[in-house]
Chain A
Amino acid sequence: MDQLLEWCSAREQGSRSSFRDAHAWCTGDERPGAANRALAILETLGHVEVDWAQGGDWAVNPPVLALLRGAGGNALAVGARSPALKERLERRGSLRAVGQRDGPEAWYVSVSTIEELGELALSAGLGAAMDVAGAYSELLPSLDDVVTAGRREVGPGGVEISRFDRLTLRFEPFPWPRGRWPDGAYEHRGAGPTTYALRLEDDGCSVVDRRTAVHFELRRLRRETGDGQFRAFDWSTEGDTLLCDRRTPLPLLQLRTAVLATGLLPQARTLDAHPRLGTRRVEAFVGVHILAYEAIARSLDPPCP
C-alpha cells in the first residue's frame, strides 16, 4: 500500500481502472473488489479523494501535517507522499512510521509547539492543520441535509432491486413494487453503477450513497420501533473507542472523523453481550474524542445512551 500511495502521489490523479492495474501489480491480488477496497481505505485515511458516483476517478490530496488532538504533540502526515518527503521529515524531526495491515504506514511527526509544527510544515513544503477530526466533527452534514440534497422527482431505474432488510441489515432481493413503494432504502442494479435510493414518507425519493441510505434507514427503523434496536454504533470510554457494526459502516465524512482521530484504520472485534450493541462483529476506532463521537451521533441521529 505504501508503494501504491507513492504512485498515487506521483500520478496525482487517475481513473479507477488505472488504480486497479497498479493495485494488481503491487499486490498480485486481481480479485474484482480488492482494488476498490484499497482505494476506499486510502480515501478513508484522507490520502486521496474518489469520485465514486462518476466512475471512480481519484486524485491525491495535498500533503498536510495534521496535529492530532490529545496525541502528545504528534502530527499525522496526510495526503501525497514521496520517499523524499519521508527523508525530509526524518531529517527535520522524529518521524515514526507505524505499519498497518490493510493500509499504508501512518506517519507521525512529533512537535513540541504549534510554532514548530508551522515551521516544520513550511520547511517540508506541507500544509498544516490542527485537530482534523475535531474540525470534521464541527462540519458533519446531518442525514436530513444529505437526503434533502439528493431529492429527485423520479427514482432510479435498474433491472434488479434490493431493499435494506431489517433482520439481516443487508440489501436483499425485492420484487419491483406495483403502486406505492414501501418506505425504505433500495439498491438499484442495472447497466451502469449501482445506485441507492430512499423512498420517503411523502412519496418522495432521494438518491444518496449506500452508507447514507443505510444509516437513514436505520434511523427510520429506530423511530418506527421506538427503541435502540437498530443502533449501529456506540462509544466506549475504554480507550475512547467508537464501535460500529461491520455491516453498516459509517458514511465517508463520519468515517474520516473517526479515523483521523489517530490516523489508524479501525480494528475488527467481536462484541459479546454489549449493553447496547449486543453480540456482533464491529469495527473499533480508538482515540475518538467524546465530542467527535457526539458530532457523529448527532449527524446520524442514533438514540443517546
Chain B
Amino acid sequence: MTRGAEADWWNEAIASWFFNEAAAGQLVYLGVDDQELERVAIAAGRPTPNPREAFTAAMQEVSSLNDPFGYWWRRTKRWEQLPPPRPTPPFVCILALTALMADDATRSRWPGLYDPLAEALAASSVAVRAHYEDTVRRWWGALNHWLLDLDGQMGLPTAWAPTQGFRSVIGHAWSQVLVRRRDRTHFAEFFSTLGAPHGPDLALDFDRASEELFVRWRTWIRRGGSVSERLRHLVDDPAAASSEEGRLLGRILADELCHWDGTTSDPEHRPSLRLVVVANTFARRPLYFAAPVPAELAGKQVDFPLGAVLLGDEDDLTEVPLLVTSAALSSGVRLDCSGVSVTYAPRAVVPMARRGPDFWRSVEHLQPGEEAYALVARSELDGFGAMAPDATPSTAVMDVPQGWNLFKDAEVASEVVAGSAHLAGLVPRSSALPHLTGGLRLGSGRKYLAGGPPDVVVPEAEGITTEVVVDGQVVALVPAEGGRVRLATLGLLAGEHSVIAGCRRFNVTLEPFDWWQPPPKPAITRPVRGAAGQDAIVAGALVEGITRPPLVLVPVRPELFVLGKPGQCHRASPASAPWVRTAGLPLASFEPLDRHAYENGRPFPPYWVAWVGPTGPWKVMACGGEPELRPDDDRERLDAWARLVQSMIPAEVVGDDRERRWWASYSSFASSTAQPCRA
C-alpha cells in the first residue's frame, strides 16, 4: 500500500460521514470521538475493533517529527489550485484529529491541545505549535468556505474560534466537540420554550445573541431543562457566561437558533410525536394524550401499544391511544412506535391553556391573557397554592390520576415566580426573548399607526443589562430583572425605524393616517327589485366584481342600514331585522354565504345587496341568499322606483357628486338594460 493511502481513506470516510447530501441545509459539526470513528469505519465498509488506533496510525504514517502537517499542506496546495466546485478537501482527516484531541481535552478538563496532538501524530510539540496556525487553523476556514461554496448542499459550516484569547488559534476544534447531538436535541427543546418565531421572522442580531442566549439557556436548565453532563459545569459556574467556553456555547446556541426549523426531533433524527395532555371540560371525560402532527408524519399511521392511530394533517392535534396515568405524568413517556419517537416530558406542574370553548391542552407556558387550568402533582400543592391564590380545584374532568390535582384559574403573577422552576410555565409571557408588544397595529406585519409604536418587552435575563437601541441611539438600558420600554414616549416620526433589543432586531414602520377612503362602489350588473315600503324604499341588485368587501357597519345616517359582508350578515341583528321585514326580504336570505372562502381571501361569489332608506345615498345591505326575484313585469315598477330614489336625494344636503352619479348610473341601468332574470 502506498504511503498516505490509509490517511486518504480516512479522509474520504470521515468527510463522507459528516458532509453529505443528507446534511444539506443543516449545521454540521465535525464532532469526532471514539463512537463516531467506529461509525465512520463501519459506514465506509471497514469495521475495525479499535478505530482510534487505526485512525491515529494512519495519521502518524504521513506525519513526521519536524513537519507534522507537511503531507496535508502539499495536498492542500494542489487542491486549492483546482477550479470550483472542488472535491473533498484533503485536510478533513487532520481537522478531525484535532477535534478528537479537543474532545479528549474536554473530557479530561485539560485545556491544552498541542501536546496531545503532537503525541497523536508522533511529532514534535514545538513543530506542532510552530506550524498549527498556518496550516490547521487556516484549513478550518478553508473547510467553512468549501461548504459555503457548495451552497450548503453538503451541510453548513460551524467551525469558529474567538478572535482573541486562549482559544483564538485552537478554538475551531473545540467548537466542533463542545456540544453533541443529544445536546442539540435539548437545544431544540429550549428554543421551543422561547416562544420566538423561527426562520427569517426571528430577526436575531447575531453579534449580540451569544451571551443573552447562554444566560437564558442556563436559566432554562435551572428551571428543569435537560442538559448533558458535558455541559453541566457551565450551568453551575457563575462566571461561565464570560468564559471562553460560555461564549463559544452562546455562539453555538445563536447559530442553532438561527437555523432552527421550529421542530424538535429525537437524537437519532427519527420523526417525533411530542405528546400533550388534553382536557375536555364540556364532555367531562378523563384527561387524554394527543400529539400535534409534524409535517413529516401528516396522514401517517402510527402503531401504539394499545392500537394504531391515523394521524391528521400537519399541526392537527390527534388523540393517541395512551392512558394518562399517574406514572405517565410523573415519569414521562418515551416510546418507539413503528419508528416514530413518542415522548411526553414530565412536569410537576402542567399548565393547560384554552384552545377552544371547552378544550384545554398542556403548553410550555401561558400567553398573556390566556385562561389556564393546571395539573399539579401532590408534592407541589403547597408551593402552587401559595403562588396561585386564585386557583380553585376543578372537577371539570373525570378520573384525574392519583397523586395529581386539577385547578382552574391557575395563572400566577410573574413577580412571585422567580426561582420557582415548576411554576414558570404558569407565568404568562409572549416570548422569553425580547419582543414587541402592544402599539396601534395596522394589519399584519410590523406596521403601526404613527404615534402608536409598540412597546419593547425584555424578559428577565440573569446578570445581563439589555440595551434597547432605536435608530442607532441607545434609548434604554433594561436591568436583569427585565422590563418594558414604551417607544411611544420617544416621539418617533412616521417612517421606518430600526429597533434592537438585546439579541433581536426589528424594523418598525409607523404610518401616518391621513384620510379615510370609502370602499369602492360595487358595480351593479342586474337590478332585481324595487319596492316602496311604509317608511323605506328598497332596491336589490346582483353585485359582481367586488374588489373590496363592504364594511361591517350600520351607517351613521339612520335611514341606511348595512348588515355586513357575506358570511357576516347571516344573522340579522334585532336592530336590522325590522328592516329586513320592511324590505320584504326573506329572513332566510341571511344564511351564511361562503364565509370560509371570504376569510381565506378567495374571491367570493356575487351576492345580493339591498338599499334601504327614504332619502339616503348608497349603503349596502349584503344578503347571503337571493332575495325574491321578480319576473320581467316588475320592470316598470323598478324604473319608477329608481327615479323616485334619485329624486329623493336632497341636493341641498348631499354634495357628493360621485354618489349622485352613482345613483344616476343605477337609474340609467335600470331603465336601459336587459330584463332581470334568475341567475
Q: A-side interface residues toward B, CB under 8 Å?
A: 3, 6-7, 9-13, 18, 21-22, 24-26, 30, 46, 48-49, 51-54, 57-64, 66, 78-85, 114-115, 117-119, 121-122, 125, 127-130, 132, 135-136, 138-139, 141-142, 145-146, 148-150, 191-192, 208-209, 212, 251-253, 256-257
The reply to whether the CB of B67 lies closer than 8 angstroms to some CB of chain A is: no
The answer, yes or no, to whether B455 is at the interface (CB within 8 Å) is yes
The smallest C-beta distance from A29 to any residue of chain B, in angstroms, reads 13
Interface size class of B (residues with CB under 8 A): 35 or more
> Considering the complex, which residues of chain B in the window 145-186 have a beta carbon less than 8 Å from any beta carbon of chain A?
none
A21 touches B438 (CB 8 A): yes
Please indicate the chain A residues that have their CB under 8 angstroms from the CB of B129 in the complex: none
Q: Tell whether B81 is near chain A: CB-to-CB under 8 Å.
A: no
* Sample of 11 A–B contacts (CB below 8 Å): A3-B451, A12-B516, A22-B452, A49-B554, A51-B573, A57-B568, A59-B552, A62-B556, A114-B652, A132-B558, A253-B558
By the criterion CB–CB under 8 Å, are B574 and A25 in contact? no
CB-CB under 8 A from A10, the residues of chain B are 440, 442, 449, 511, 513
CB < 8 Å neighbour of A83 from B455, B513, B578? B513
- A24 close to B449 (CB less than 8 A): no
Indicate if the CB atoms of B653 and A59 lie closer than 8 Å: no
- A9–B556 contact, CB under 8 A? no
Question: Which residue of A13, A46, A61, A150 contacts B577 across the interface (Cβ within 8 Å)?
Answer: A150
Q: Assess whether A149 is in contact with B557, with CB atoms less than 8 Å apart.
A: no
B516 close to A128 (CB less than 8 A):
no
Q: Which residue of B lies closest to A211 (CB)?
A: B574
Q: How far is the CA of A136 from the CA of B575 in the complex (A)?
A: 12
Given contacts A11-B443, A84-B515, A128-B653, contact A58 B552 (CB under 8 A): yes
B650's closest neighbor in chain A, by CB? Answer: A130
Q: Are A6 and B438 in contact (CB under 8 A)?
A: no
A121-B655, A127-B557, A135-B558 known; A13 vs B552 contact (CB < 8 Å)? yes
B22 contacts the other chain (Cβ, under 8 Å)?
no
Chain B residues with CB under 8 Å of chain A are: 282, 357-358, 369, 438-443, 449, 451-452, 454-455, 511, 513-516, 518, 535-536, 551-559, 562, 564, 568, 571-575, 577-581, 587, 652-656
Apart from A25-B438, A30-B369, A63-B516, 15 more pairs, CB < 8 Å: A10-B442, A10-B513, A11-B449, A22-B441, A48-B553, A58-B552, A62-B556, A85-B516, A125-B515, A135-B558, A145-B577, A146-B578, A149-B577, A149-B578, A253-B558
Contact in complex: A25, B452 (CB < 8 Å) = yes
Bound complex: CA of A247 vs CA of B540, how far in Å?
40
- Which residues from B are CB-within-8-Å of A117? 653
Contact pick for A24, options B438, B515, B574, B581, CB 8 Å: B438
Chain A residues within 8 Å of B587, by CB: 149
Contact partners of B654 in chain A: CB under 8 A: 118, 127-128
The residue from B358, B557, B579 contacting A191, defined by CB atoms under 8 A apart: B358
Name the one of A51, A118, A145, A209 contacting B552, with C-beta atoms under 8 angstroms: A51
CB-based closest 4 A-B pairs: A149-B577, A191-B357, A25-B438, A80-B516
What is the chain A residue whose CB lies nearest that of B451?
A: A3
State the CA gap A11–B551 with chains docked (Å): 11
Q: In the complex, A62 Cα to B620 Cα: how many Å? A: 13
Closest approach, in angstroms, between the C-beta of A116 and any C-beta of chain B?
A: 11
Given the complex of chains A and B, what is the CA–CA distance between A120 and B87 in angstroms? 77
Tell me, in angstroms, the Cα distance from A66 to B653 when the chains sit together.
Answer: 10
B contact residues around A127 at 8 Å (CB):
556-557, 654, 656
Nearest B-chain residue to A30, judged by Cβ: B369
On chain B, the residues within 8 Å of A12 by CB distance are 516, 551
The answer for the CA separation of A21 and B655 in the assembled complex, in Å, is 38
Docked Cα-Cα span, A79 to B557, in Å, equals: 10
Cα(A51)–Cα(B576), bound, Å: 11
Q: A61-B556, A129-B557, A138-B535 are in contact. Are A7 and B440 (CB under 8 A)?
A: yes
> For the complex, what is the distance from the CA of A12 to the CA of B544, rounded to whole Å?
22
**Cα(A78)–Cα(B555), bound, Å:** 10
A219 → chain B, closest Cβ, in Å? 15
> A291 CA to B369 CA in the complex, in Å?
46
Question: Known contacts being A25-B455, A114-B653, is A9 close to B513, with CB within 8 Å?
Answer: yes
> Which B residues lie within 8 Å of A46 (CB)?
556
Q: How far is the CA of A41 from the CA of B338 in the complex (A)?
A: 59
* Distance of A136 Cα from B614 Cα, bound (Å): 12
In the complex, what residues of B have CB within 8 A of residue A22's CB?
A: 440-441, 452
For A146, the chain B residues whose CB sits under 8 A away are 574-575, 577-578
For residue B513, give the distance in angstroms from its CB to the closest CB of chain A: 4
Q: Give the CA-CA distance A136 to B424 in the complex, in Å.
A: 54
**Which chain B positions have C-beta within 8 A of A21?**
438, 441
B452 CB to closest chain A CB, in angstroms? 6
CB of A82, distance to nearest CB on chain B (Å)? 5
Q: Is the CB of A253 within 8 A of B559?
A: no
Q: Point out the residue from B357, B449, B655 that lies within 8 Å of A7, measured CB to CB.
A: B449
Known: A62-B518, A146-B574. A118 touches B652 (CB 8 A): yes
Residues of chain A with a CB closer than 8 A to B580's CB: 149
A277 to B587, CA, bound (A): 38
Give CA–CA (A81, B476) in the complex, Å: 33
Q: Which residue of chain A lies nearest to B486 when distances are taken between CB atoms in the complex?
A: A25
* Chain A residues, CB < 8 A from B555: 61-62, 64
CB pair A85–B655 under 8 Å, yes or no, is no
Instruction: Give Cα A21 to B442, complex, Å.
Output: 12
Please, which residues of chain A bring their CB within 8 A of the CB of B516? 9, 12, 60, 62-63, 79-82, 85
CB within 8 Å for A26 and B440 given contacts A80-B516, A149-B587: yes
The answer on a CB contact under 8 Å between B513 and A82 is yes
- C-alpha spacing A59/B552, complex, angstroms: 6
**B515 and A150 contact, CB distance less than 8 A:** no
Q: Which residue of B lies closest to A88 (CB)?
A: B515
User: Per a CB cutoff under 8 Å, which of A51, A66, A149 touches B564?
Assistant: A51
Distance of A291 from chain B, by nearest CB (Å): 14
A114 CA to B653 CA, complexed, in Å = 7
Contact yes or no, A122 B655, CB < 8 A: yes
Asked if B556 contacts A132 (CB within 8 A), the reply is yes
Q: Looking across the interface, which residue of chain A has its beta carbon closest to that of B368?
A: A30
B552-A57 in contact (CB<8A): yes
B551 touches A54 (CB 8 A): no
**A75 nearest CB across to chain B (Å):** 11
User: In the complex, A244→B559 CA distance in Å?
Assistant: 25
Complex Cα spacing A121 to B652, Å: 12
Collect the chain B residues with CB atoms within 8 Å of residue A61's CB.
553, 555-556
> Residues of A contacting B282 with CB < 8 Å?
191
Q: How far is the CA of A64 from the CA of B556 in the complex (A)?
A: 7
Known contacts being A25-B455, A54-B571, A128-B653, is A60 close to B551, with CB within 8 Å?
yes
Could you tell me the distance between the alpha carbons of A18 and B440 in the complex, rounded to whole angstroms?
9
Identify the closest chain A residue to B652 (Cβ).
Answer: A114
CB-CB < 8 A to B577: which residues of A? 141, 145-146, 149-150
When distances are taken between beta carbons in the complex, the residues of chain B under 8 Å from A251 are 574-575
Q: Roughly how many angstroms separate A117 CA and B653 CA in the complex, as a whole number?
A: 8
Shortest CB distance A63–B (Å): 6
Contacts of A212 in B (CB 8 A): 574
Contacts of B518 in A (CB 8 A): 62
Tell me the complex Cα distance, A191–B655, Å.
49
How many angstroms from the CA of A54 to the CA of B560 in the assembled complex? 21
| Cβ of A20 to closest chain B Cβ, rounded Å | 8
Closest residue on chain A to residue B572 by CB atoms: A149
A252 to B558, CA, bound (A): 12
Which residue on chain A has the smallest CB distance to residue B553? A49
Q: Flag if B552 contacts A49 (CB, 8 Å).
A: yes
Question: Quick one: which of B441, B449, B553, B573 contacts A6, CB cutoff 8 A?
Answer: B449
In the bound complex, residues from chain B placing their C-beta under 8 Å from that of A114 are 652-653
B411 to chain A, nearest CB (A): 13
Given known contacts A49-B552, A51-B552, A61-B553, is B575 in contact with A122 (CB within 8 Å)? no
Nearest-Cβ distance from residue B622 to partner chain A, whole angstroms = 12
Are B559 and A135 in contact, CB atoms less than 8 angstroms apart?
A: yes
- Provide the residues of chain B in CB contact with A24, threshold 8 Å: 438
A3 to B656 Cα, complex, angstroms: 28
CB of A51 within 8 A of CB of B568, answer yes
List residues of chain B with CB within 8 A of the CB of A118: 652-655
